[in-house]
Chain A
Amino acid sequence: MAERIPEGIDGAEVGRGTTAQRLREDLLVVNMGPQHPSTHGVLRLLLTLDGESVVDLKPIVGYLHTGIEKNTEYRTWQQGVTFVTRADYLSPFFNELAYCLSVERLLGIEVPPRAEAIRVLVCELNRIASHLVWLATTGLELGAVSMMLYGFRERERLLDIFELFSGLRMNHAYIRIGGLVMDLPEDAEDGIRAYLGELPRRFDEYEALLTGNPIWRERNRGVGILDAATAESIGVTGPMLRSAGVARDVRKDEPYCGYERYDFEVPTRTEADCFARYEIRLAEMRESVRICEQVLDAMPGGPVMIEDPKLRWPARLSVGPDGIGNSEEYVRHIMEDSMEALINHFKLVTQGIRVPAGEVYTPVESPRGELGYYVVSDGGIRPYRVRVRDPSFCNLPALPEMARGRLMADVVAAVASADPVMGGVDR
């Protein structure tokens, strides 16, 4: 290292052992985060630097630990949905879906076809929303600030669509045990179709803006490389693994919710760098648009919630001016017409449902990879254990592999390409 010390003006004084010399030779340990604009939330990176190059990187997490897994053990099964939707806040529908699929498998029930189709629809819309946020924030971090504005603009319209049918922009609790909390409003399909029709043109614009941009290419190509064997052994899934040429996708390998009925590709690249991940996420958004259109074309009719009165959520909900709430008609029904309906409502809402004892592990393909829920029941009215296998958490240990020996500025690109969401990491 000594030969790398530049010749000082007063070189004679910079002898071995002086403070100046030691300062130049020492490795510098820098805290990046937890409050740092490019760490996607409260991620802390402990960087050991030799000048500008990264000798070591340690991700430190836990700043957003909210005890979601613990909380679910103290609430009824139905209430669990409102907790898990807050874990990975950029992919709420996926958390709701994996949790509900797990509980439904424990109960041994199947949801109506229309509920299944709408679940696929909202999840794929959610994948687009999540990738848009990824594209926007990554653009911001790598100097393509205009991308940030476009990405959030398109995502905002998606949040409006989510609000239209769930009453909420985020943390929807829309997917419930046994189906959905309510059907799509009548004008929703047209709105979604209009939006989907517009998207491919927007993606073309993003590609025109970024793909050929020399700065964007310089910042991303050959940066953050993670080969397939290392990725797999560390437990990496999702676009990170697919960028290394491994076409693994839970939707294809172990189809759920009828994904086997839809025609879509699993985009892969072999470069295993940040640029490949960018291309994959753009391609995945295009595939999601295809899936959504197929779902809308073949949308079955019928109910969106199972019929079993001992399991189904009793309330009839509607979106009012101040959000989601009990429909007036339903309130009149239980308060004025039927004592039995009131008793049933009271029992299901306050006591909850019983789920047969057992355990299941249900994976789904979230925007970040394999999101798995390991749900254990002891036969009671509350979950005994809800374990979330969050892809952000499992992808994070790959950061040191991607950053070691590279420049400090490449850490920003590498972290961005991993797309960690701290709500999911820390739960």
Chain B
Amino acid sequence: MTPEDLAARLRRSFDDVLLARGEVTLTVDRERLLDALRTLRDEDDFRCTFLSDLSCTDWPGRDPRVWMAYHLRSPERNLRVRVKAGLPEEDLRVASAVEVFPAAEWQEREVFDLFGVVFDGHPDLRRVLMPDDWEGHPLRKDHPLGGVPTQYKGATVPPPDQRGL
């Protein structure tokens, strides 16, 4: 199936389907996200059985603030689809996709860790890359690249002239 055919087929079931640069993007409300993922996984026209990638982009000052992006792959039909869902700033939550795609487990942990998105129903939602007691979510746009005070835990830093260097 070509991306054009896929987009046409998806438009029969979904409202917001975009075909750009040879990639098909399906945008759904976050409440319908899991349904959409299941449809894409199970329906015979799609058979997107493989979750390639799960991530998001942060757009502070806009609504929705965070756009989740799920990249699905159908080895049988040789397709790729991107599913997107927007999350409002005051409520960065979305249902966990782990029950549909177990591959989402670590990738959702990473999004939680670096963006602070909470995945409802995730079996083990812990930080994965940053230390457990880290404060903040470093990949958010309002988190600075540098100049962040080092987060010492229980340790103190003596003034430079007393460090005995």
Contact = CB atoms under 8 A, between A and B. Distances in A.
Contact of A394 (B107, B127, B129): B107
Contacts of B21: 105-106, 108, 358, 360
A372 B138 contact: no
B106 A393 contact: yes
Contacts of B58: 385
Interface stretch (A19-27, A115-123, A197-205, A230-238): A230-238
The CB with the most chain A CB atoms within 10 A, among B25, B55, B110, is that of B55
A71 interface: yes
Q: Interface size for chain B: under 10, 10 to 19, 20 to 34, or 35 or more residues?
A: 35 or more
Interface residues of A, number: 38
B136 interface: no
A389 B71 contact: yes
B75 A61 contact: no
B106 A397 contact: yes
Interface stretch (A6-14, A38-46, A62-70, A287-295): A62-70
Contacts of B47: none
Contacts of B128: 61-62
B53 A360 contact: no
Overall SS of chain A's interface: mixed
Contacts of A427: 129
Nearest to B79: A254
Nearest to A387: B55
Contacts of B145: 67, 70-71, 73-74
Given A70-B145, A235-B107, A361-B52, 14 more contacts: A62-B127, A62-B131, A71-B145, A105-B21, A233-B102, A234-B102, A235-B52, A253-B78, A359-B25, A361-B23, A361-B53, A374-B53, A393-B106, A394-B103
Interface of B: 20-23, 25, 49-53, 55, 57-58, 69, 71, 75, 78, 80, 82, 101-103, 105-107, 110, 127-131, 138-139, 141, 145
Interface of A: 61-62, 65, 67, 69-71, 73-74, 105-106, 108, 232-235, 248, 253-254, 358-361, 363, 370, 372, 374, 376, 384-385, 387, 389, 393-394, 396-397, 426-427
21 contacts: A61-B128, A62-B130, A62-B131, A70-B138, A70-B145, A105-B22, A234-B102, A235-B51, A235-B52, A248-B75, A359-B57, A361-B53, A361-B82, A370-B52, A372-B52, A384-B57, A389-B52, A393-B106, A394-B106, A396-B106, A397-B105
